[in-house]
Structure 1
Amino acid sequence: MAFASTGLRAAICHHGRVLQMVNMTTAGEKQYYAVALLSSLFEELPSWWRLGVLYDIACVLHRSMSKWKILPSLLPRIDWGILVFHALGHQWPCQCMYHPQKCKGFGFSDGEGCERCWGALQKMAPVL
């Protein structure tokens, strides 16, 4: 039996509040879900705001968006970083460039708000 939804993808602020959420309908974490969240989020923000984005594979998404010119007007407004607990799984050059504690503007943010959100929602949707 197949399900119409395969999961949820969320954009969560520094304080742990859900800003945007998408219903995933394909298997795996496709980049277009992250692009859709960023596009939708930037529509709600003033045009002069910059946004720090912490994502487990921010290095890959940043490269893809730059290479394929996806949302080119937004790219200069985004500071990219990898989630702290995912950073050690990345190669050294990637860690140097994207680790939030090495990037200006992220402070002590660990970027794990989504993991905390999923932990809180786990009781509502147990694994089948």
Structure 2
Amino acid sequence: MTTAGEKQYYVIALLTSLFDELPSWWRMGVLYDIACVLHRSMTKWKISPLLLPRIDWGVSVFHAFGHQWPCQCMYHPQKWRGFGFSDGEGCERCWGALKKLGPVLRVLTD
């Protein structure tokens, strides 16, 4: 949860805040590169047990093939109903396109 790398507690805080704003009967699909690890942590440590039944977990397609075979079978978004053809990499493409603006928009100070 708190080791170096992707800090799971940020995602848990984000999901908790998001679900606080949604109707209680809504379900949501969450595509995340370590969704399998996050799902297992939330289940094991009983973190936000009311949220778990409302979330369908999936690992974004690009990252899924780096995971073990059982994880790919269980968390690949195209194995779940409701994800459609989404690959979970929309934000990555957006950040990749915006990366070129970094040097131009950088603030220079003394």
2:40 aligned with 1:53, yes or no?
no
More helix by share: 2
Which of the residues 39, 44, 57 maps onto 1:80? 57
- Give the counterpart letter for 2:100 in structure 1: K
Distance (whole Å) between structure 1 residues aligned to residue 23 and residue 97 of structure 2: 31
The residue matched to 2:95 in structure 1 has which SS?
Answer: helix
C-alpha displacement of 1:90 = 0.6
Unaligned 5+ segments in structure 2 are 104-110
Which of the residues 90, 96, 120 maps onto 2:97? 120
Task: Provide the identity percentage.
Answer: 84
C-alpha displacement of 1:67 = 0.4
Unaligned 5+ segments in structure 1 are 1-26
The runs of at least 4 consecutive aligned structure 1 residues that moved more than 6 Å come to: none
The CA RMSD measured in Å over matched residues stands at 1.7
Distance (whole Å) between structure 2 residues aligned to residue 101 and residue 70 of structure 1: 27
TM-score (structure 1 length as normaliser): 0.73
- Give the counterpart letter for 1:120 in structure 2: A
2:13 aligned with 1:36, yes or no?
yes
Distance (whole Å) between structure 1 residues aligned to residue 94 and residue 9 of structure 2: 21
Distance (whole Å) between structure 1 residues aligned to residue 64 and residue 44 of structure 2: 22
C-alpha displacement of 1:58 = 0.5
C-alpha displacement of 1:125 = 3.6
User: Greater CA radius of gyration, 1 or 2?
Assistant: 2
1:27-78 Cα shifts (integer Å, max 9, x gaps): 6320011111101111111110000000001000000000001111000000
- Give the counterpart letter for 1:58 in structure 2: A
The residue matched to 1:97 in structure 2 has which SS?
Answer: helix
TM-score (structure 2 length as normaliser): 0.84
